[in-house]
Structure 1
């Protein structure tokens, strides 16, 4: 059970600060132990002021929708900062740019671009997370990915310093971004778009979403793709060829619809998911010689 943080730790905070917050309530797999501290800022200024008061070596976990994340059953020893419900601004800045704050859901960004007849962000409709999370891992779907669309990003560093940076300040690749020293998270991004007066963006996005609904376990507790695709192949194909569709450990199961998705039942534990991930990796390695690399981030302490 979570509880409000002590009065001293709440000094000058306008958002919600709680202790022992169950992270199973904030992750898409619906598993995970408690965070020592859990902060939901009221707005950008509240967030920066809170960060400025954090101890220099305090472990910090930046959280959006909690997709692409596995928190172990022992929880997170440090402070979790949740942007869900905050930093949700969207602005169409002329014909070739959209500004999105880090807490904006990727699907909402795709719809916003569609409504403003802008192309280039349709792939965002297939990402089950926020703009901040997409930036942190160069998320992608349907052949598109985040960083090629970036004009500039606003990042926050320890001490509460916010700074605008450009793509050349980062090294990024498939589902990976090297982040600067002292980096905590993204506040927002200026994103490149193009005119779509004839609605081609809308048509293609509808087709993608229909395909996603038919081929992925939409609506079930899942973190999205579990593994990165190896060069020249697909993780789902390799997993399926090993006969692992429907494989189960405890309350975690390889989806029968899409082999690169793990779904959880009520009562599942993070250890079930982590054990199933390792079982998949070991089996695929033994049968194909290919080492699958997880796309999901694993944090926290085991019980």
Structure 2
């Protein structure tokens, strides 16, 4: 890989209006407040700028990582090599008739509130999902009986080589916590959701109910990366962990939540290494006790 200082100079020359940061602490950009530094941290605001960075990285074989709000990710303490792109400025939301258009960096919670404001039903389930639109699409995020696959109609993406594509419903290849976006490593630029007109009182009541359920069951008082494990077939990860007597188990500053066993929380200046060790301990314990393999829903990325 080229020298970081030379990559920075090249990119700043090509894109003078884009903010580029060197050795940016990624703990500032994750919900669990852990993670090492990035070599280069880029914050584009236009699709053309994003495309130039992607093409440059592909051309020079520079590792590229896309970061949304960092809600469902653990970045290792050694950080991330190459270029990390933040999509935080791709956050516009607009409503026309029964469709909502939004950038991939927009908060999915904000999109659900925009739907409520326009008396549109279909995104009530998303009112408590803390990530971005892009993250929600990649994972086919869902909660309380709804999921992204039911409402997404179009998405603009950039391929790893830098080509811009517009995808429609028949191309999303949605599955449980999976999608074409994940499989083909597409960089999501925007999304269009098709909703239906609804009763605003009923929409708000459903969102209030979902919010209450989330706040009463989840350990929102601590930083966390959300639900750590996927639901294994015929089981619930949280119940398996609870029945294994793991709640309250701590490694360093990371702890299996006493409020919801499916969460690992940062109770005392945890490192990513604390989190990863605790995840492995939970997986081994559940496997030994119940013979069930717990697969992580949270993404663990960065230098080993």
The TM-score bracket by the shorter chain reads over 0.9
Q: TM-score, structure 2 length as denominator?
A: 0.92
Per-residue CA shift, 1:9-59, capped at 9, x if unaligned?
Answer: 311321211121111111111111111111011333322233232243322
Note if contact 1:107-1:126 (Cα within 8 Å) is conserved in structure 2: yes
Is the Cα–Cα contact under 8 Å of residues 59 and 77 in structure 1 kept in the other structure? yes
1:80-137 deviations in Å (ceiling 9; x for gaps): 11112x1111121212x21111011011011111111111101111211000011111
d(CA) in 2 for partners of 1:144 and 1:150?
12
Q: Which residue of 1 aligns with 2:211?
A: 209
Structure 1 window deviating more from structure 2 (142-151 vs 130-139): it is 142-151
Is 1:66–2:86 an aligned residue pair?
no
Corresponding position of 2:299: 297
> Aligned to 2:116, which of 114, 117, 129?
114
How far has the Cα of 1:266 moved from its partner? Answer: 4.3
Q: Partner of 2:146 in structure 1?
A: 144
Give 2:199's aligned residue: 197
Given the alignment, which residue of 28, 35, 40 partners 1:25?
A: 28
Tell me the residue number matched to 2:94: 91
CA distance in 1, matches of 2:146, 2:182: 24
**Could you say what the CA RMSD is over the residues aligned between the two structures, in angstroms?**
1.9
Aligned to 1:82: 86
Number of residues paired by the alignment?
A: 298
Cα 1:280–1:18 change in 2 (3 A) is: same
Matched, 1:221 2:242: no
Q: Deviations over 1:247-272 (max 9, x none)?
A: 11111101111111111134311111
Paired residue for 1:43, among 27, 46, 66? 46
Change beyond 3 A, Cα 1:146–1:205: same
Q: What is the Cα deviation at residue 182 of structure 1?
A: 6.3
2 CA distance for matches of 1:197 and 1:141?
A: 21
Matches within 5 A, 1:7-18: 7-13=9-15, 14-18=17-21
Residue 272 of structure 1 is matched in structure 2 by 274
Q: CA separation of 1:65/1:198 partners in 2, compared to 1, >3 Å: closer, same or farther?
A: closer
Cα distance in structure 2, aligned partners of 1:181 and 1:228: 17
Instruction: Check the 8 A contact 1:62/1:184 in 2, yes or no.
Output: no
Is the alpha carbon distance of 1:111 and 1:300 closer, same or farther for their aligned partners in structure 2, counting shifts above 3 Å?
A: same
Asked if 2 retains the 8 angstrom alpha-carbon contact of 1:5 and 1:19, the reply is no
Structure 1 residues 181 and 171, CA gap change in structure 2 (3 angstroms): closer
For the 8 Å contact 1:4–1:19, the answer to whether it is kept is: no
Residues 11, 53 of structure 2: 8 Å contact kept: no
Q: Give me the whole-angstrom Cα distance separating, in 2, the residues matched to 1:52 and 1:162.
A: 11
* Offset of residue 198 of structure 1: 4.8
Contact 2:254/2:268 (8 A) holds in 1 = no
Q: Does 1:53 align with 2:50?
A: no
2:126 maps to 124
Higher helix share: 2
- Alignment match, 1:34: 37
Alpha-carbon distance between aligned partners in 2 of 1:229 and 1:265, rounded to the nearest angstrom? 24
The answer (yes or no) to whether the contact 2:181–2:187 under 8 Å persists in 1 is no
* CA distance, structure 2, for counterparts of residue 182 and residue 80 of structure 1: 18
Cα distance change of structure 1 residues 198 and 264 upon mapping to structure 2, 3 Å threshold: closer
CA distance in 1, matches of 2:9, 2:66: 23
What is the TM-score when the length of structure 1 is the normalising length?
0.92
Structure 1: which 5+ runs fail to align? none
